[in-house]
Amino acid sequence: MIPLVLDPDRLFPSDPATRAVARALYDSVRDLPIVSPHGHTEARWFADNAPFPDPAALFIVPDHYVFRMLYSQGVSMDDLGVPARDGSRLPYDARAIWRRFASRYHLFRGTPTRLWLDHAFHDVFGIDERLTAESADRCFDKIETCLGEDAFRPRALFERFNIEVIATTESPLDPLDCHRAIRASGWEGRVVTAYRPDPVVDPEFDGFADNVAQLGEMTGENAATWTGYLAAHRARRAFFKSMGATSTDHGHPTARTADLDPAQCQCLLDRALAGTLAAGEAELFRAQVLTEMAAMSQDDGLLMQIHPGSFRNHNPAVYARFGRDKGADIPTPTGYVDALKPLLDRFGNARDFTLILFTLDETTYARELAPLAGHYPALRLGPPWWFHDSFQGMLRFLEQAIETAGFYNTVGFNDDTRAFLSIPARHDVWRRVTCRFLANAAVEYRMGEDEAFELAPLLARDLARAAYKL
């Protein structure tokens, strides 16, 4: 047996004096409640509070961080239990899937996924040996036994993880029945929604025209007209806000915005619904909608987030068989200075509107994002996202953005995850890295140690709580 040990000083500096400061800072924030203001966990988990079915279904099947690595090494998604886009899949054998995963666990060395998984195995399930082909069945049996206990149901884990609030992400077409059920259950855990309108703002989204028609039916608006289309969005946003939403989220290929006149907007909408948009017009339509969403956010108070820069579904064979979000999304170069100017010309100086910017293009941290957020009152910087939600990625963000943007033009951390059990691990990594960064600043006399202790809880929880109005 190879022991699984989580060193209490992991990710801290190697210099003993700096490490001591980092450790003290971390001790001051390690037990703070988790504010998870943006993510993709399923509201159904908390509504039904049903047991998670098995270790493979919990850790492998839904987690693109896991199966994309295994797929890159020649393991088929069918053999990992990933269902096809029509819901079908090969005969499901959870233990066989787990063994395939365990025998290749070494593939995750040096990745954030390994940190998150080891944290979950050790701290959540009490596993004290490293996952290998030899230990696979023992680990599987331990997790499976735990999943049969009430203490490992979603609501109990929510409370055990010390989650103060978590936001899920839903389409405007979602009736939010699961959120209704959570409210009606009397459970005190706080689960809110967020407005993610991609299916009805992206003309290249599967079924766009039908989605827009459904949006109109749900709201009683004629969504085939530009005014009716915008009114339908306002109606759904108001409903989402009544169900606890404090934010919107927009996953566009670029950060481009536009400010067109209504006649141009109607022409674009007509061609989008007819499926006759010319090259580049889909991006122009999305760009205009981002500016419209900013106007709505200024009116209704919902914070706005842009998650741009991913070439979605890059692998056509995987997309054809398994659908969206299957590990084939690839970062692309992303510009912000020119792209955001139409929106910022209208709303950048507003103090009653907040736009959080994320990026998959780290080259923009110091050149574009930090200077923009360091000037415009409406802008804040989101934390390292997706491929950069990692030890090194967090350090790069802090080192490149903070000197220009400052700490107070950032929004702390959000985990942006579908993997529920990774939430405490992800927040723990962020808290360790920010305490490391603050400790170095303090011992190098770039700030007072007292200031580092003031900043630590802000970065761990309070900046996110304030920015997302939670």
Say yes or no: 87 and 43 in one domain: no
Q: Are 278 and 424 members of one domain?
A: yes
Same domain flag for 81 and 98? yes
Alpha carbon distance 34, 462 (integer Å):
10
Choosing from 124, 152, 180, the residue where a domain stops is: 152
- Residue 307 is classified by DSSP as -
Is 240 part of any domain? yes
pLDDT in tens, 108-140: 999 999 999 999 999 999 999 999 999 999 999
User: Quick check: 6 pLDDT over 90?
Assistant: yes
pLDDT, one tens digit per residue, over 421-444 is: 999 999 999 999 999 999 999 999
pLDDT tens digits along 329-385: 999 999 999 999 999 999 999 999 999 999 999 999 999 999 999 999 999 999 999
Rounded to the nearest integer, the mean pLDDT of the chain is 97
pLDDT one-digit tens code per residue, 441-454 = 999 999 999 999 99
Residue 455's alpha-carbon distances to 118, 405, 422, 447, in angstroms, are: 28, 15, 24, 11
pLDDT higher than threshold 90 for residue 143: yes
Radius of gyration of the chain (CA): 23
Tokens of 349: 């100086």
pLDDT, position 182: 98
pLDDT over threshold 90, residue 2: yes
DSSP at 340: T
Q: Are strands 310-311 and 379-381 parallel, antiparallel or unpaired?
A: unpaired
Residues 72 and 200 in one domain: no
On the question of pLDDT at 328 being above 90, the answer is yes
pLDDT at 151: 98
Last-in-domain residue among 121, 152, 183: 152
Residue-wise pLDDT tens digits, 47-56: 999 999 999 9
In the chain, the percentage of residues whose pLDDT exceeds 90 is 98
What local confidence, expressed as pLDDT, does residue 279 receive? 83
| DSSP-H helix ranges across 104-246 | 112-119, 136-147, 154-160, 177-185, 198-201, 208-219, 226-242
Q: Is 423 found in the same domain as 325?
A: yes
Mean predicted confidence (pLDDT) in 219-229: 98
Strands 191-192 and 355-357: unpaired
Residue 8 lies in a domain: no
User: What's the number of CA atoms in the CB half-sphere (13 Å) around residue 424?
Assistant: 20
Asked if residue 451 and residue 392 are part of one domain, the reply reads yes
Identify whether residues 115 and 227 lie together within a single domain.
no
Q: Which domain holds residue 126?
A: 51-152
Q: Provide the pLDDT for residue 80.
A: 96
The mean per-residue pLDDT over the stretch 174-179 comes to 98
Identify the residue whose tokens are 């735990």. Answer: 146
This model's pTM is above 0.75: yes
The domain total for the chain is 2
**128 and 265 housed in the same domain:** no
Q: Note whether 354 and 378 are within 8 A (CB).
A: yes
Asked if 393 and 371 sit in the same domain, the reply is yes
Q: Report d(CA 33, CA 349) in Å as an integer.
A: 33
Smallest Cα–Cα separation from 245: which of 200, 299, 307, 300? Answer: 300
Q: Tens digits of per-residue pLDDT, 196-210?
A: 999 999 999 999 999
Whether residues 206 and 97 fall in one domain: no
**Which contacts qualify for 277-280: CB closer than 8 Å, 24 or more apart?**
277/203
